[in-house]
Amino acid sequence: MNHMISPARPRYSHTAIRLAGTLLLVSFISLTSPLIAAAGELRAGAAKVDISNRNVPVNDPLFAKALVITDGAQTGVIVTVDAVAIGEIGSITNEYLGNVRSQIETDLKIPPKNIMINASHCHGSVCNDVEQRTIQAIKAAAKKLVPVNVGVGTGHEDRVMENRRLFLKNGKEADVRHAYALPPDEEVAGIGPIDPEIGILKLEKKNGETLAIVYNFAVHPIQGVPSKGSTADMSGFASQVIEDNLSDGTIALFVQGCGGDINPAQYKDVDNPRDAETLGNLLGLSTLKAIKKIKCTDAGDLKVMNETLAVPRSNNETRIESLKKEQENLVNSLQGTSLNLKTFLPLIVKYKLYDKHPSYYSHRYLLEQKLSRDGLEKLDAENRANMERYINNVYKMEQMTRNKANLRLLTKHQTRNQAAGKTLDVEVFGIKVGDFRMITFPAELTVNIGLNIKKKSPFENTFVAGYTNGYNYYAPTADQLKNVGGAQEDSDCMLAPEWQAIFETKAQEMIQALK
């Protein structure tokens, strides 16, 4: 007995005393601040609060979701909101980000720059007190901190989206919007890329239950639902599928990626009600499939970075002038035609159905032939010429509609940029949790930006989020900016082409620092 106790006792006692001391200290600290844990140990809490505007018909709820992660030394907060943007457009104000951060700094002592807020970019209707409710979500998450294991993985989904930029045979690009008609099929030569990768961070409680899932994917969640009610769209449905199929209380946070030029699949369908739920279910199931393979360990560490980057503002004065000239040329090229919509429609049906004898029964054409007359033939030729001119005018009108919408966007940004100086300060946020690394940018990054950064990163699980910590409209590639005025992404944009290299360089620098 002795030989077992005597050598062990002094060590045991010291350990016990140290342990008791630590426990006392930890419980004392956790009473005063729930954010301080034993150094190195990763703890996390997650919560969600409904942010739906209940004054409009709601199809499915919108949420502000918060994940608070701390290693005792520092704390990072990932917030996702089912909203169109963090400021500028939609009902989230420009003061929202600063207000949420300063309230959290006051109440929880978390530095403002450690908090990232990503908008899913869904077009649902958000409540007026979204700011208070976001704060509520973060505070609720911080109250629930528990020790966690973390893991990272990737899933694959390529059925729910398509690139919305069309490469035209004339070297220009057009985009797929509801704001205007598409160019004729014959003019389309190709389509841009998609990013089918789902980047996933999994957080598990020590008993193996899932605490939260953070998943990053690139797509505009703007499909809508048949009821036309307010909806969190594809990403909202995907999150619901994930939450319903993991441990009770799991919070799934969708972090919008580089979805600037990515539309939901068949976004322009006019034969079926567009339904985000079917697409969201697919995305949710593909994410779940990948989640099941992720092994969580206690080896995870936490790093948070936040830098301000000056990117150049665009000056599109000459392009605006040339676009105005193009509009004038289109007006001048409209051809006179005897037809209007009422006479054109029945004619085009007849001439497409009955190519040889569109105007009357064939026997009348045969009779004219016998009598060496050509009245019907001449009438058909006249109608055909008028129809062709009418159709050409429609195509020109469609082009003018596209130009007009993009010219309006260009002019808006030109006026603001001229008044604002040469550069724009943007916040670039970086976070590392275990092997999960993510870099963010406050604009609608197009998919190539994400693909580039991921490809260049020396780390396998690197992900990129746009729509984070502010909103500075679209951020297309320098190549896409050669097409200024041709599509929404290159027109609804404040940035000069050089922005891309500046950001991509900074992103790699930050990724290296998040080693």
Binding positions for Zn ion, rule: CB under 5 A: 444
Cβ proximity to Zn ion, 90 vs 183, nearer residue: 90
Compute the C-alpha angle 338/341/346, nearest 5°. 95
The DSSP H or E segment spanning 156 is: strand 146-156
Task: Give residue 299's Cα distance to chain centre.
Answer: 31
Secondary-structure breakdown of the chain: helix, strand, coil percentages, each rounded to the nearest 5: 40, 25, 35
Q: Which amino acid, residue 143?
A: K
Cβ proximity to Zn ion, 275 vs 444, nearer residue: 444
Smallest distance from Zn ion to CB 499, Å: 17
- Nearest one of 204, 218, 393, 364 to 300, comparing CA atoms: 204
Compute the C-alpha angle 296/515/153, nearest 5°. 30
Cβ proximity to Zn ion, 263 vs 452, nearer residue: 263
Smallest distance from Zn ion to CB 467, Å: 8
Smallest distance from Zn ion to CB 26, Å: 46
Smallest distance from Zn ion to CB 20, Å: 56
- DSSP track, 231-246: --HHHHHHHHHHHHTS
Cβ proximity to Zn ion, 223 vs 457, nearer residue: 223
Cβ proximity to Zn ion, 243 vs 444, nearer residue: 444
CA atoms of 400 and 412, how far apart (whole Å): 18
Smallest distance from Zn ion to CB 346, Å: 40
The number of beta carbons lying within 10 Å of the beta carbon of residue 381 is 11
The stretches of 2-129 forming alpha helices (DSSP H) are 2-5, 8-32, 96-108
Pairing of strands 251-256, 210-217: parallel
Pairing of strands 210-217, 161-163: unpaired
Smallest distance from Zn ion to CB 120, Å: 11
Smallest distance from Zn ion to CB 260, Å: 6
Cβ proximity to Zn ion, 200 vs 222, nearer residue: 222
Smallest distance from Zn ion to CB 471, Å: 10
DSSP category for residue 58: B
- Residue with smallest beta-carbon separation from Zn ion: 444
In DSSP terms, 385 is beta-bridged to: none
The number of beta carbons lying within 10 Å of the beta carbon of residue 221 is 32
Cβ proximity to Zn ion, 76 vs 280, nearer residue: 280
| Token output for 120 | 């899913």
The number of beta carbons lying within 10 Å of the beta carbon of residue 197 is 21
Cβ proximity to Zn ion, 45 vs 264, nearer residue: 264
Compute the C-alpha angle 251/256/258, nearest 5°. 155
- Residues 42, 150 contacting (CB under 8 angstroms): yes
Smallest distance from Zn ion to CB 62, Å: 17
Cβ proximity to Zn ion, 435 vs 444, nearer residue: 444
